[in-house]
């Protein structure tokens, strides 16, 4: 994950410098972007085990935020960005929080439909680390009688996933004084690795894999 983030930062720095140094590249072909959206995930395998222990299961819907840099011309639309997913829910005795951090490359071939409206088709490639934290809300901490066999009121697991899949976009481009662009993207991403849930602090007696954890991701991206 650290390597991927380092590559993203290097790419971002390279592109920023390229705007000033490469004369053959028009300035408005590179833009920064921010975006929001949601993802819809297939059933979590770990939910079976959480449910058996009366622990709040992970919800299949995450809110999404993204930011990065986009390159575009008359034929292609390519963006590389940081991506954040988050969700959470609680029941009578537990609550969970899921945070996912990652990077995503999206590449589209574009078709102009109207003067300032384009449709793009292509693919997404992404990598993310998803962290699950489970909290026991009925846990009582007694400093006069600390039980060394208890882990406290929470445990944390993480899952690393790579994704690839087809995507489509709808862009309204070059509007306003600064030629802002708005792009709606829809993608279905297939999991391409099969790592299990892991922990940096606990030893697990059972291994839980999420081999079928595909996701539908929708974003609205605003180019600055």
Confidence of residue 152 (pLDDT cuts 50, 70, 90): low
Confidence of residue 22 (pLDDT cuts 50, 70, 90): very low
pTM: 0.78
Residues 180-195 have pLDDT tens digits of 789 999 999 999 998 9
Which residue has tokens 């053959």? Answer: 24
Do 104 and 124 meet the contact criterion of CB atoms below 8 Å apart? yes
Confidence of residue 23 (pLDDT cuts 50, 70, 90): very low
153: pLDDT strictly greater than 60: yes
CB burial string 169-192: b at 16+ within 10 A, e below? bebebeeeeeeebebebebebebe
Q: What phi, psi does 184 have (nearest 5°)? A: -105, 125
Beta bridge partners of 82: 67, 103
Share of the chain above pLDDT 90, in %: 58
Q: Residue 6's pLDDT is what?
A: 54
Residues 31-80 have pLDDT tens digits of 899 999 999 998 899 999 999 988 999 999 999 999 999 998 888 999 99
């Amino acid at each position: 994950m650290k390597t991927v983030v380092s590559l993203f930062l290097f790419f971002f720095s390279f592109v920023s410098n390229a705007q000033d140094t490469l004369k053959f590249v028009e300035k408005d072909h590179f833009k920064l972007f921010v975006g929001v959206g949601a993802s819809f995930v297939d059933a979590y395998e770990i939910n079976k085990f959480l449910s058996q222990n009366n622990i709040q299961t992970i919800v299949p819907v995450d809110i999404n935020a993204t930011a990065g840099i986009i390159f575009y011309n008359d034929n292609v639309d390519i963006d590389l960005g940081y991506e954040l997913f988050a969700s959470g829910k609680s029941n009578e005795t537990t609550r969970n929080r899921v945070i996912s951090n990652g990077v995503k490359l999206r590449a589209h071939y574009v078709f102009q439909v109207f003067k300032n409206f384009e449709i793009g088709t292509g693919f997404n490639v992404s990598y993310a680390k998803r962290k699950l934290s489970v909290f026991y809300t009925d846990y009582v901490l007694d400093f006069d009688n600390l039980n060394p066999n208890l882990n406290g009121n929470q445990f944390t697991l993480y899952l690393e996933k790579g994704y690839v899949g087809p995507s489509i976009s709808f862009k309204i481009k070059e509007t306003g004084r600064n030629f802002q662009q708005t792009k709606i993207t829809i993608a279905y991403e297939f999991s391409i690795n099969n790592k299990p849930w892991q922990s940096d602090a606990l030893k697990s007696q059972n291994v839980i894999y999420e081999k079928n954890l595909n996701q539908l991701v929708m974003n609205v991206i605003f180019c600055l």
